[in-house]
Amino acid sequence: MTDKKTLLFVNDEMEMGGVARVLNTLMRALPKDRYDIDLLVLHKRGMLLNEIPEGVRVIEGTPFFNTVDEPLKELLESHRWRELFSKIRLLFYMKTGLIKGRIVRERKKILSKQYDVEVAAKEGFCTIFTAYGDSRRKINWVLTDYSVRNYSSNHMTLVRQALQKIDLNIADSQKALVAYETVFRVQNGVAIHNLMDLSILDRAAKTEDVSVRDSDTPNIISVARFHPQKAIDRLIRASHAALQAGYPHTLYLVGGGELEGELKALVSELKMDNVVFLGYRSNPYADIRKCDLFVLSSLYEGFATVNSESLIVGTPVLTTKVSGCEEQITSPDYGWIVDNSQEGLNEGLIHALRDRERLAAMKAVLKDYRYDNSAVLQQFMDVL
């Protein structure tokens, strides 16, 4: 029997969000008899630390990396002066290119062995960290659409230099792959969809913690961080437009974040009594399953995992035209793709609400929906 392959995944933090979730799902699915897995969290924080799979060894970054995931503006506005100094120091190292040597020195303090494969679980700083390490194979995981939002725009030269040392770029959709290769002028990429946690079906079926109520009007749901990228304000306005057009419904919003106060103020300003804020839920799947429609209102994505999760539990999706959506909504029975604008959301939601019998028929079809997780896992194992 051959020795197990040693893997190192590198992430900046483990806050609630798509990157940490799909990373935990992948680490949980990789066969433990074939892989010995370590996870380096450069700034060890986030509620998804609690969901790291058993058997994965967690390594913490040095204090040098404690502001790697902290926005400079946020540190300044909150008067966190010590952290602000650390962030400015980190940016100085990046702007001057000195970060390359500093990464080599910091890695020696953190890591005690050479890995067969190292994966930057979030493109950007993690890419640079992985590039200047000594792992035998280096992979960069791209989880957003760089044609819409370039998170590395302030450090293009540094990232392009780092990518010359990366053996493979994995993007979570074909569109995201093309965008990344175009922006950074690389060609060593492959598209692999996100692995799904299929236990959500059991969790949806077994939980008794369901907030969505039976109703004579359609129930709509969205699950997201309340962050500008997710554009929940557009969904609220689309809901208001549908009410004004004579299509009553209840809109359930699962999540939380920096814009929660603004979103609640918008609901109050529009005098809407059909919007229910459910807060953060680790298991929203029973609520998704009970609803007539899931809506994704994002400005941009890579491969919106939550769209596929909704299909898996049997609820059709209305999504803005973001990267990956055309690889998910592959049948008219699965949902609708609408123009990525306020007008597109308004018109799409009204169209969906116009025919409740159609929504019911779509849910009936989705009882037979299957996500080919085994094929996705095999694709990952083929490149690791």
> pLDDT per residue over 89-102, tens digit each?
999 999 999 999 99
Residue boundaries of the structural domains of the chain: 5-191, 200-366
Are domains 5-191 and 200-366 of this chain identical in fold?
yes
Residue 2 pLDDT class (50, 70, 90 cuts): low
Residue 1 pLDDT class (50, 70, 90 cuts): very low
Strand ordering across the sheet containing 117-120 = 57-60, 35-41, 5-11, 117-120, 137-142, 168-171, 189-191
Residue 200 pLDDT class (50, 70, 90 cuts): confident
- At 282 the pLDDT is 79
Please check whether the domain covering 5-191 is classified as CATH 3.40.50.10360. no
Mean pLDDT of 289-309: 95
The residue to which tokens 């680490």 are assigned? 27
- At 161 the pLDDT is 97
Helix, strand, coil in percent for the chain, rounding step 5: 45, 15, 40
Please check whether the domain covering 200-366 is classified as CATH 1.10.530.10. no
Distance between CA atoms of 15 and 33, rounded to whole angstroms? 29
Distance between CA atoms of 105 and 145, rounded to whole angstroms? 32
- Whole-number mean pLDDT of the chain? 95
Least confident of 44-53, 56-65, 199-208, 231-240: 199-208
pLDDT above 50 (res 240): yes
